[in-house]
Amino acid sequence: MPVVLYEAAAVDGANAWHRFRHITLPLLVPTMAFVVIIATLGAFLTFTEVYVMTESDATGQSRGGPNYSTHAMSYFIYSQGIRFRHEGYASAVSVIFFIFCVAISYAQFKWLRARHEY
């Protein structure tokens, strides 16, 4: 963080809260935006946890938790494409899921960036 900004704020009489709110937070917005977008995409792409938890019986049947509560979109794509051999359906769902992820990421980026541009 540039010390000059904090020194100028101290000369102007800004207290610690104002320095944090008007200097530190705006400088951290690009990093926070990156972390939020990557964390959201990571949550959308949850596959390993679901696969390990639900594919453990001897027949290879998916138990899926109560009422398929552990199914995520990436696991659904895997199930349709690999297990049930519906490759066309799985690829169509994958394209729609990709567009959805890009749209959510773009919206988050715009929202986080618009909030802190002055």
Q: Domain-by-domain residue ranges, the chain?
A: 28-115
SS3 59: coil
Q: Report the pLDDT value the prediction gives residue 117, as an integer from 0 to 100.
A: 55
**88 neighbors 8 (Cβ within 8 angstroms):** no
Report, in this order, helix, strand and coil percent for the chain, each rounded to 5. Answer: 75, 0, 25
Q: How far apart are CA 85 and CA 83, in angstroms?
A: 6
pLDDT over 80 at 63, yes or no: no
pLDDT digits (tens, 9 = 90+) for 10-43: 899 999 999 999 999 888 888 888 888 899 888 8
Q: What's the chain's average pLDDT?
A: 84
Please say whether the beta carbons of 27 and 1 come within 8 A: yes
